[in-house]
Amino acid sequence: MTANLSVNINKIATLRNARGENNPDLIRVAEDCQRFGADGITVHPRPDERHVRRADVGMLRPVVRTEFNIEGYPDESFMRLVLAVKPEQVTLVPDAPDTLTSNSGWNVTGNFEFLRDIIDRLEEAGIRSSVFVYPDADQIAAAAKAGADRVELYTKAYADRYPENPSEAVAPYVEASRAAHKAGLGVNAGHDLSLENLKYFAECVPYLDEVSIGHALICDALYLGLQETIRRYKACLRH
State the catalytic residues: 44, 71, 191
C-alpha 32/C-alpha 226 separation (Å) is 8
The angle formed by the CA atoms of residues 45, 231 and 38, to the nearest 5 degrees, is 35
Q: Are 231 and 5 in contact (CB under 8 A)?
A: no
Q: How many Å apart are CA 113 and CA 162, to the nearest integer? A: 35
Q: What's the distance, Cα to Cα, between the start and end of the chain in Å?
A: 7
Residue 24, preceding bond cis, omega within 30 degrees?
yes
Long-range interactions of 180-184: CB distance < 8 A, separation 24+: 180/140, 180/144, 180/150, 180/151, 180/207, 181/206, 181/207, 183/140, 183/141, 183/143, 183/144, 184/144
